[in-house]
A and B are shown apart, each in its own frame.
Chain A
Amino acid sequence: MTKMSGAKALIESLKREKVDVIFGLPGGATIPVYDVLYDSDVRHILMRHEQCAAHAADGYARASGKVGVCMATSGPGATNLVTGIANAYMDSSPVVAFTGQVPRAMIGKDAFQEADIIGITTPITKCNFQINRNADIPRLVKTAFYIASSGRPGPVLVDLPKDMQTESSNMDFNCTVEMRGYRLNSGLDPMQIKRAVDLLLQAERPIILAGGGVIISNASSELVTLAELLLAPVATTLMGKGSIPEDHPLSLGITGMHGTIASNRLILEADVLLAVGVRFSDRTTGKIDGFCPDAKIIHIDIDSAEVGKNVRPHIHVIADAKKALQAIYDQMIKAYRKKERSLWMSRVQEFKKQQEEMVKAKEGLNPPRLLTDLRKILPVDSIVTTEVGQNQMWAALHLKTYKPRTFITSGGLGTMGFGFPAAIGAKVACPEVPVVDIAGDGSFLMTEQDLATTVMENIPVIVIVLNNSMLGMVAQWQRLFYDRRYSHVKLGKIPDFVKLADAFGAQGIRVDSVDGFLEAVKTAIKSDVTTVVDVPISPEEDVFPMVPAGASLKDMIAG
């Protein structure tokens, strides 16, 4: 037991959680904490907007597998975090957010910069709490990290009234976390595993759908091993991209609204679908009745509430993806006689070829070509983040991912402006690898002010702006489904991204050819300052394949 202020206890607790970086922005209600940070060895990165602080913590968490931490003051600081927290919640990312709050005596009085952040974030956090007993700080911080990172991860918010930061108490850092309402599914039900194995043994045309859960549980090698044993092609969700190396012969790429031809076609033909760590989002399944109509579904997920939420599986396994895949493999190998599956494998080949030819056919400064060629010069370990919209779907389709945690995107919430601050977080987690944000001009403008952060804090990232002077995805829908009535999507050639980068002390390069583009990226990789590569592309360019909203996968428009 040591007597100290709440602010000191908070930072001490963070150290004990091995937090090495906080993304934040100070304000009136967090000054006591920032006073402790003044001479603390915990790194604090001063962001230029709280939304970016939350996204950076999220990007850091996804790249490293550790908990990301962000901090904001009360009121507007806290509400600015909301988009970032919702984003982390939708994509099950372990983030702990700390917010300042007005002193307890003023709560409920509509005090200056007071916002009910607990009320606001209840539906978008795994758990949140306000500290109202100063001596609870060590225990509650420990609890926050435990909840954020265990089971199905997610964001946790801790609200700290200012008087809780300034008052002193005897702090016990050897406390234990007690939560009778929070139980983890740690075991495996052998019956569930047996039923899954029995079904897989009978499968003629098995397919695996791998989601973000595979990446979260570090189950990639188990996934690939099982796929190879089964001779089952692997489709991924957007969040599962990277769970199998996309140059693996069994990898089909992403599935869903902008899924690959191979993925979307083969799911329709499969007789058994093994879905691992997925939540069957509407963007993945299309119209639910038309999703793998002939397949029996096995659903593995750590969150039992996901089973039956969107799709009713024939067999479910409530478990960590890694443990479940390993257990299934162990059982299968005993009973399995290797099957030829030559017919099924030739279907895989056929559709993969179709997909490749679609890209090959295109020359010039178009995103599929640019991103395919970009892959050839990016080191394997490079981390790619994306904004949201056409840029994201082009990156998902054409920029192959070889390793888990190297493709970071806003899957569930679809947050424009996510990619750039997420790249900052990823670069802080992995300073030794190039980090590239595949951006659109619309998205990048939403969080571009944090160029200042990357320059001031020496966090060089690469932003590739696929610049069509449009809110491109909305424009695509208007082109395809609204008779080309381009309502409020034209952004003009504003700003000049080269000058913008320059104004922030970053580097801006505009390119007009594929070769020029590749040269610019090579320059950027070597640069010790953030580089914005502005690539003007046609505003008429569409992302294909596409399954129209509300349609079945079989209604895919190949392009």
Chain B
Amino acid sequence: MSEEKKLYTISALVEHKPGVLYNVSNMFRRRGFNIETISVGSAEQEDLARMTITIKGDERTVEQVVKQLDKLIDVVNVSILDPRSTVTRELALVKVDTQDARVRSDVINYTEIFKGHVVDVAHESLVVEITGDSDKIDAFIQLMKPFGVKEIARTGVTALQRGMRSIEIE
């Protein structure tokens, strides 16, 4: 068993009803596990939601997280996603200070290189939408910093396994 701390992505199918997020986050709090990111939305079935949770930890901790999640009655299915066969995406909105007009074209150029979109234009700022894995978003934010980043909103990671493999109700 590896003691090394790594970033793990956990995908859980949960009942789509009030209180589920509380039950899940409460378990993390109570057992002293730390959530890096969490994103929740409807799954393929109307009465199910998919939670994508990333956590930093060693293998043993992550194994406990999965087992404790699985014990929750509102959690229908849970697994650790293998990074080699998983598509992960995050979306970020970044508001950049463009009071200096020369900055504006630089920001727009970088946004194009990163295949992002400018989604709001004001006299003194631009809002850029950028999608990708977390590293790509980190890199973009680093690039924007010298211009003056006023606000960032990130969705947290969401993920699916590649190909036909899927996490479903057993």
Interface residues of A (CB under 8 A from B): 118-119, 122-123, 126-127, 147, 179-183, 303-305, 308-309, 312
Contact between B60 and A308, CB atoms less than 8 A apart = yes
| Residues from 33 to 90 in B contacting A, C-beta threshold 8 Å | 60, 63-64, 67-68, 70-76
Q: How many contacting A-B pairs (Cβ < 8 A)?
A: 37
Chain A residues closer than 8 Å to B64, beta-carbon distance = 305, 308-309
Alpha-carbon separation in the docked complex, A308 to B73 (Å): 21
Asked if B26 lies at the interface with its beta carbon under 8 angstroms from chain A, I say yes
| Given contact pairs A122-B22, A180-B76, A181-B72, a sample of 15 additional A-B residue pairs in the complex whose CB atoms are under 8 Å apart | A118-B19, A122-B23, A123-B27, A126-B73, A127-B73, A147-B73, A179-B73, A181-B73, A181-B75, A182-B73, A183-B170, A303-B71, A305-B68, A308-B60, A308-B64
Chain A residues closer than 8 Å to B30, beta-carbon distance = 123
Shortest C-beta distance, A503 to chain B (Å), equals 42
Shortest C-beta distance, B123 to chain A (Å), equals 43
Contact between B22 and A119, CB atoms less than 8 A apart = yes
Asked if B169 lies at the interface with its beta carbon under 8 angstroms from chain A, I say yes
Main secondary structure of the interface of A (DSSP, over half): loop
Alpha-carbon separation in the docked complex, A117 to B89 (Å): 38
Which residue among A118, A181, A303, A305 has the maximum number of chain B CB atoms within 10 Å of its CB? A181
Contact between B169 and A180, CB atoms less than 8 A apart = yes
Q: List 19 A-B contacts (CB under 8 A).
A: A122-B22, A122-B26, A123-B26, A123-B30, A179-B73, A180-B169, A181-B15, A181-B72, A181-B75, A182-B73, A303-B71, A305-B67, A305-B68, A305-B70, A305-B71, A308-B63, A308-B64, A309-B64, A312-B60
Interface residues of B (CB under 8 A from A): 1, 14-15, 19, 22-23, 26-27, 30, 60, 63-64, 67-68, 70-76, 169-170
Closest chain B residue to A147 by CB distance?
A: B73
Chain A residues closer than 8 Å to B73, beta-carbon distance = 126-127, 147, 179, 181-182
Shortest C-beta distance, A86 to chain B (Å), equals 12
Chain A residues closer than 8 Å to B71, beta-carbon distance = 303, 305
Chain A residues closer than 8 Å to B19, beta-carbon distance = 118
Shortest C-beta distance, A61 to chain B (Å), equals 20
Closest chain B residue to A124 by CB distance?
A: B30
A181 touches which one: B1, B27, B76 (CB < 8 A)?
B76
Shortest C-beta distance, B139 to chain A (Å), equals 37
Chain A residues closer than 8 Å to B22, beta-carbon distance = 119, 122
Shortest C-beta distance, B2 to chain A (Å), equals 13
Shortest C-beta distance, B14 to chain A (Å), equals 8
Alpha-carbon separation in the docked complex, A118 to B26 (Å): 12
Shortest C-beta distance, A195 to chain B (Å), equals 18
Alpha-carbon separation in the docked complex, A179 to B169 (Å): 11
Chain B residues closer than 8 Å to A309, beta-carbon distance = 64
Contact between A181 and B74, CB atoms less than 8 A apart = yes
Shortest C-beta distance, A264 to chain B (Å), equals 27
Chain A residues closer than 8 Å to B27, beta-carbon distance = 123
Alpha-carbon separation in the docked complex, A303 to B72 (Å): 12
Chain A residues closer than 8 Å to B75, beta-carbon distance = 181
Alpha-carbon separation in the docked complex, A312 to B60 (Å): 10
Contact between B23 and A304, CB atoms less than 8 A apart = no
Chain B residues closer than 8 Å to A183, beta-carbon distance = 170
Closest chain B residue to A130 by CB distance?
A: B19
Chain B residues closer than 8 Å to A304, beta-carbon distance = 67, 70
